[in-house]
Structure 1
Amino acid sequence: MDQYDYSDVQRVSVGSGLENELCAIMYTDEYKELISIFVGLLQQNEVSERAFAVTTAVIENAAALYTAWNYRFEIGTALFQDQDRWEKELDWLDEFTLNNPKNYQIWSYRQAVISQQQKPQFVRDLPILDLMIEDDTKNYHVWSYRKWSVQFFKDWSHELDFVNKYIDRDVYNNSAWTHRAFYLQNIDPTEHESIFDAEISYCFEKISMAPQNVSPWNYLRFIYGSFKNNEFDARLVEFASSFIGTVLEVGTDSNSVAPHVRSSFALELLADIYAKRDSNKAKIAYQALADTWDPIRKHYWNLRIKQL
Structure 2
Amino acid sequence: MVSPEDHEPYGEKPEWSDISPVPQDEGSFVPMAPIIYGDEYKDATNYFRAILKKGEQSKRVLDLTEHIIRMNPSHYTVWQYRYDTLLAVKSDLDAELDMMNDIASKHLKTYQVWHHRRLLLTHLRKPRPELVFIANALQEDAKNYHTWAYRQWILAEFNDDDLWAGELAFVEKMLSEDLRNNSAWHHRFFVVFDSGVRTGDEDREVVLKRELSFTKEKLSMAPNNASAWNFLRGVLERTGTPFSTLEGFVIPYSRPLDRSTLPTASSEAPVVDVDLENPLPSPQSQLPCPQAIEFVADILEEKAAAGDEKELVRSFVDQANELYKSLATEYDTMRQRYWEFRQKEASKLIVS
The answer to whether 1:212 aligns with 2:224 is yes
- What fraction of aligned residue pairs are identical, expressed as a percent? 31
The equivalent residue for 1:92 is 99
Give the corresponding residue for 1:63. 73
Is 1:157 the counterpart of 2:165 in the alignment?
Answer: yes
1:293 is the counterpart of 2:293: no
Contact 1:121 1:153 survives alignment (8 Å): no
1:265 to 279, 288, 291: 291
| Residue deviations 1:217-274 (CA, integer Å, cap 9, x gap) | 11110110001x141244x101110112379xxxxxxxxxxx9843110110110111
Q: Deviations over 1:173-228 (max 9, x none)?
A: 0000000011111225953322211211111111011111111111110110001x
Q: Match for residue 251 of structure 1?
A: none
Name the structure 2 match of 1:47.
57
8 Å contact from structure 1 (residues 4, 50) kept in 2: no
Per-residue CA deviation, residues 101-140 of structure 1 (Å, 9 max, x unaligned), is 22110110011111122xx222221222112100011111
1:79 — aligned with what? 89
TM-score, length basis structure 1:
0.87
Aligned equivalent of 2:174, options 166, 170, 187: 166
TM-score, with length taken from structure 2: 0.76
Q: How far apart are the structure 2 equivalents of 1:260 and 1:97?
A: 40
Aligned to 1:304: 342
Distance 1:232 1:32, change over 3 A: closer
Pair 1:146-2:151 in alignment: yes
Structure 2 gap ranges (5+)? 3-7, 258-284, 304-315, 347-352
Decide whether the 8 Å contact of 2:325 with 2:340 is kept in 1: yes
Q: Is 2:239 the partner of 1:232?
A: no
Equivalent position amino acid for 2:173 in 1: K
Distance (whole Å) between structure 1 residues aligned to residue 73 and residue 58 of structure 2: 21
Partners of 1:4 and 1:55 lie apart in 2 by 18
> What is the CA-CA distance between 1:74 and the residue it aligns to?
0.6
Do residues 107 (structure 1) and 119 (structure 2) align? no
Aligned positions of 1:125-144 closer than 5 A: 125-144=130-149
Deviation, structure 1 residue 94: 0.8
CA–CA distance in 2 between the matches of 1:269 and 1:70?
Answer: 47
Tell which deviates more after alignment, 130-139 or 11-20: 11-20
Match of residue 275 from structure 1:
301
Cα 1:220/1:4, change in 2 over 3 Å: farther
Question: Which structure 1 segments of 5+ residues have no match?
Answer: 248-258
SS at match of 1:63: coil
| Residue 19 to residue 239, structure 1, CA distance change in 2 (3 Å) | closer
Q: How far apart in 1 are the matches of 2:33 and 2:224?
A: 48
Q: Secondary structure at the match of 2:16?
A: coil
Asked whether the equivalents of residues 140 and 175 of structure 1 are also in contact (C-alpha less than 8 Å), the reply is yes
Shift of 1:280: 2.9
* Cα distance change, pair 10–263 in 1 and its aligned pair in 2 (3 A): same
Number of residue pairs aligned between Structure 1 and Structure 2: 290
Amino acid aligned to 1:168 = S
* Alpha-carbon offset, residue 141 of structure 1: 1.0
**Deviation by residue 1:147-175 (Cα, 9 ceiling, x = unmatched):** 11110121322211111111111111000
Which residue identity does 2:123 align to in structure 1?
Q
